[in-house]
């Protein structure tokens, strides 16, 4: 059933390509329907999954026997929430794109391809399989940005995105080859059990460097973040939502699925460096976002800030000395929760910027003012998403960041205390943006209407989901915590 979940969107996309006379409305609604069905299947997987059982719904078929690589997939408490978040976001983007009129067939097929490769990466238990999905996501997103972005500038941004992240994937591949040479297999489960580079040494350090750099570029962390703001600024709204909400998680997920379990000793050795990178990303991302006048670039830089919290959490989990297992488990649980939370919140924020651009044709905050009067529903949704992003209690961001800070504080008190300042900066930048765009005298580049029914149907469920997680987090944490505890035990062995 897991293979059906992964490849159903791609199969439907191929069918759409095979039916050239299908009208655009039928293509759009087919995209919505398959996204809804895939989400329903993931909900069924969630209901049937036992968090204490470890890897569930496992399939392991021989694929490239000469290098011990197979079609090995499965889910656990870290990947299942990301599967659900991915399906929710793709459904939201499909609904939001019901208004899309430019080359609808190609647009829908590219998003269906992205849907499959995103799900495929999160269920991969083989390094080659992981790399294939990782690489294809770069190609598909390149065409989304170049083909449906904002003019000539979008093509330059797409090229920068492709070259930068493709270089990261090649570095990541070198790390995977290093793991294969040490362990004789590309299977993640077998490499985790063997931990072939756990003895340390120069090779272990080089492999860790390759893996961390490759994943950090995708995340992205400082100083590998420079491709992100242009890609977001020039991408279509749905493309930005998927890029920030799903594709960035491929990097952070790689840390908890591959690097930490397979290289526990080396991860512990360099954990403090990872923590420092996370803290720098938190503060730098917030400060640069605070200086932006372009609303979409501002939100893009907050992704650097929020992914910094994830890096802080996974780094703190490697600081074993003097730190209780419970604290390190809490840090990893918070990191995974932050991945889910950030996906929902930032997805909503980027779709909201798409609403603004569709009305005014610009993201420049100086061009707007007082929009709360003509567009109260738009103002309400933006305010809710902004408060969720800054970690206000009652939203999922608070649950995630509270766990990260609580779990990181015993092992890294000074870096964690510095990272807390990121919340203050994030609050300042969102409140200033809201004040500029929605309060004061009404000022717009043209007629600005409120959020339509279709736009509300795409965005409101994402905001509601952050509230549900923020108020009733137990259903999510009960799934994540056993898997986080297993990762922490592997790191400490």
Q: What are phi and psi of 76, to 5 degrees?
A: -140, -165
Q: Has residue 233 got a pLDDT over 90? A: no
Calculate the average pLDDT of the chain. Answer: 92
Q: State percent of the chain over pLDDT 70.
A: 100
pLDDT at 324: 82
pLDDT at 480: 95
Q: State percent of the chain over pLDDT 90.
A: 73
Q: Has residue 321 got a pLDDT over 70? A: no
Residue 361, sorted as left (phi over 0), alpha (psi -120 to 50) or beta, turns out to be left
pLDDT at 230: 86
Which two tokens mark 170? 């090649």
Across the range 434-451, mean pLDDT stands at 85
Distance between CA atoms of 137 and 346, rounded to whole angstroms?
19
By residue count, the chain amounts to 493
pLDDT in tens, 339-371: 999 999 999 999 999 999 888 888 889 889 889
pLDDT in tens, 69-115: 899 999 999 999 999 999 999 999 999 999 888 899 999 999 999 99
Q: Has residue 66 got a pLDDT over 90? A: no
Distance between CA atoms of 118 and 464, rounded to whole angstroms?
23
DSSP-assigned states of every residue in 69-118: EEEEEEE-TTHHHHHHHHHHHHHHHHHHGGG--SSHHHHHHHHHHHHHHH
Task: Return the half-sphere exposure (C-beta side, CA atoms, 13 A cut-off) of residue 347.
Answer: 33
Q: Has residue 404 got a pLDDT over 90? A: yes
């Amino acid at each position: 059933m897991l293979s059906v979940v992964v490849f159903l969107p791609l199969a439907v996309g191929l069918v759409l390509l095979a039916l050239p006379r299908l009208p655009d409305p039928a293509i759009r609604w087919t995209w919505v329907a398959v996204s809804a069905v895939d989400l329903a299947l993931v909900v069924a997987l969630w209901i049937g999954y036992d968090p204490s059982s470890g890897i569930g719904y496992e399939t392991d078929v021989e694929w490239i026997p000469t290098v011990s690589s197979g079609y090995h997939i499965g889910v656990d408490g870290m990947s299942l929430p990301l599967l659900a978040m991915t399906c929710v976001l793709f459904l939201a983007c499909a609904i939001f794109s019901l208004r899309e009129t430019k080359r609808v067939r190609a647009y829908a097929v590219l998003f269906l391809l992205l849907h499959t490769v995103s799900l495929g990466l999160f269920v991969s238990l083989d390094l080659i399989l992981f790399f294939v999905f990782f690489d294809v996501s770069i190609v598909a997103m390149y065409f989304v940005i170049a083909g449906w972005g904002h003019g000539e500038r979008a093509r330059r941004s797409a090229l920068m995105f492709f070259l930068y992240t493709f270089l990261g994937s090649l570095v990541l591949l070198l790390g995977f080859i290093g793991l294969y040479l040490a362990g004789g297999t590309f299977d993640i489960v077998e490499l985790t059990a063997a931990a072939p580079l756990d003895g340390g040494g120069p090779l272990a350090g080089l492999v860790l460097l390759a893996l961390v750099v490759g994943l950090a570029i995708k995340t992205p962390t400082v100083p590998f973040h420079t491709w992100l703001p242009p890609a977001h600024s020039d991408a279509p709204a749905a493309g930005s939502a998927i890029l920030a909400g799903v594709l960035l998680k491929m990097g952070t997920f790689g840390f908890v699925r591959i690097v930490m379990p397979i290289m526990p000793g080396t991860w512990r050795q360099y954990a403090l460096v990872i923590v420092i990178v996370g803290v720098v990303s938190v503060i730098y991302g917030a400060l640069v976002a605070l200086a932006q006048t372009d609303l979409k670039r501002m939100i893009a830089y907050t992704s650097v800030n929020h992914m910094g919290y994830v890096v802080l959490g996974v780094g703190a989990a490697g600081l074993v000395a003097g730190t209780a297992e419970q604290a390190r488990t809490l840090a990893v649980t918070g990191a995974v929760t932050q991945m889910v939370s950030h996906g929902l919140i930032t997805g909503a924020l980027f779709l909201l910027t798409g609403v603004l651009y569709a009305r005014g044709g610009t993201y420049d905050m100086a061009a707007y003012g007082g929009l709360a009067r003509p567009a109260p529903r738009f103002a309400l949704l933006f305010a809710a998403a902004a408060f969720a992003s800054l970690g206000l209690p009652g939203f999922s961001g608070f649950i995630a960041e509270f766990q990260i800070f609580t779990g990181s504080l015993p092992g890294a008190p000074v870096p964690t205390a510095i990272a807390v300042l990121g919340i203050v900066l994030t609050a300042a930048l969102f409140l200033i943006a809201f004040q500029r765009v929605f309060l004061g005298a009404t000022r717009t580049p043209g007629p600005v209407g409120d959020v339509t029914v279709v736009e509300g149907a795409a965005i409101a469920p994402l905001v509601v989901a952050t509230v549900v997680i923020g108020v009733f987090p137990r259903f999510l944490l009960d799934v994540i915590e056993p898997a986080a505890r297993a990762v922490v035990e592997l790191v400490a062995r």
